[in-house]
Chains A and B, each alone.
Chain A
Amino acid sequence: MSAVTFAVLAVIALGSALGLVFKKNAIHGALFLVVNLGTVAALYLSLGAEFLAAAQVIVYAGAIMVLFVFAIMVLIPGKEETGPDPRRPYRLLALPVGAALLAELVLVVVARRGADTGAAAPIPGGVEAIGRLLFTDYLFPFELTSVLLLAAMVGVLLLARRRAG
């Protein structure tokens, strides 16, 4: 992928992330997050991870974001952040903290970029390679995932049910 394509995708990703954080309306934030997830899916494609790009769109941009939008519509958003912020100084403190964290992370990335080959061996990113890996080396975690999802489903039913009386 050319550097220009990467730059465009990176700008879209960063812009939508900032939109999520700084837009008041939660629905707008959800739509920004969908844009961000789609952009990250495109970045996966550029890294040769086709399976993950598809899974990203289906699982994140599809299932999880539908859940979010449903929850936002059920919970009448936009009412809770309209009043004056009683803890404004603490929240403004988040910006320097975030900037410090970013500087730290970038410093680590730049300091450790020694093995940056650029054109590493082409890795098999297709469904076949991932499926083979999941059903051989990672078989036990894969089966545990199904138990986790089942437990989450039962837990959600228990939490969200209306108690009688």
Chain B
Amino acid sequence: MVPETWYLGLGAALFAIGVVGVIVRRNPLVIFMSIELMLNAVNLTLVAFGHRHGSPDGQALVFFVMAVAAAEVAVGLAIIVAIFRLRQRLSVDDLSAMRW
């Protein structure tokens, strides 16, 4: 039996990789996918904690995270498509219109 701590460590590593992806990449689509990676790492952590405490509540929480992630991806991709229509370029470095 693998202890839950290993799952937590794996979740932490995946989360850190996702953070690096968000900072390093310039393509907003890849940044979005890195965010999905981070959400997945957190989901894995939630399931591992639920397993440790012997309750299915963590799994219910993951279900809600999945639903919110689906809505978030749909809206985010629509925004990216709208920006692409406006600018014809797709690099987050160009998107500084809302910068103070």
By a beta-carbon cutoff of 8 Å, the part of chain A in contact with chain B is 1-3, 6, 10, 13-14, 17-18, 20-21, 26, 29-30, 33, 36-37, 40, 43-44, 46-49, 51-52, 55-56, 59-60, 63-64, 67-68, 71-72, 74-75, 77, 79-81, 85-87, 91, 93-95, 97-99, 101-102, 105-106, 109-110, 113, 115-125, 129-130, 133-134, 137-138, 141, 145, 148-149, 151-153, 155-156, 159-160
Do A145 and B27 contact each other (CB < 8 Å), given the known contacts A17-B37, A68-B32?
Answer: no
Expressed in whole angstroms, the Cα–Cα distance for A129 and B93 within the complex equals 47
B52:A102 contact, CB within 8 angstroms: no
Partner of A36, one of B37, B69, B78, B81: B37
CA of A46 to CA of B82, assembled, Å = 41
- Given contacts A17-B17, A60-B69, A75-B81, 5 further A-B pairs with CB under 8 A are A43-B47, A56-B66, A95-B24, A98-B19, A121-B54
Q: Please measure, in the bound complex, the distance between the C-alpha atom of A95 and the C-alpha atom of B9, giving whole angstroms.
A: 18
Indicate if the CB atoms of B60 and A138 lie closer than 8 Å: yes
Known contacts A116-B5, A118-B3: A26-B17 contact under CB 8 Å? no
* Separation of A21 and B32 alpha carbons in the complex (Å): 11
Q: Kindly state the separation between the CA atoms of A126 and B98 in the bound complex, as whole angstroms.
A: 47
Chain B 40-82 interface 0/1 with A at a Cβ cutoff of 8 Å (1 = within): 1001100110111111110110111011111111110111111
Main secondary structure of the interface of A (DSSP, over half): helix
Q: Which of A1, A36, A60, A129 contacts B2 (CB 8 A)?
A: A1
User: Who on chain A is nearest to B48 by CB?
Assistant: A47
* 8 CB-based A-B contacts, threshold 8 Å: A1-B1, A17-B13, A36-B37, A44-B44, A48-B51, A56-B66, A98-B23, A148-B67
What is the chain B residue whose CB lies nearest that of A17? B17
**Can you list, as one digit per residue, whether each of B1-18 has a CB less than 8 Å from chain A (1) or not (0)?**
111111111101111111
CB-based contact B26/A74 at 8 Å? no
Decide if B56 touches A105 in the complex (CB within 8 Å): no
Residues of the B chain whose Cβ atoms lie less than 8 Å from the Cβ of A156? 74-75, 77-78
- The smallest C-beta distance from B68 to any residue of chain A, in angstroms, reads 7
Do B29 and A20 touch across chains, with their CB atoms under 8 A apart? no
Distance, CA A67 to CA B60, complexed state (A): 24
Q: Which residues of A contact B90 (CB under 8 A)?
A: 75, 77, 79-80
Task: Choose from A18, A87, A138, A148 the contact partner of B93 (Cβ within 8 Å).
Answer: A87
A59 & B66 in contact (Cβ 8 Å cutoff): yes
A126 → chain B, closest Cβ, in Å? 9
Query: CA–CA, A101 to B15, complex, Å?
Result: 9
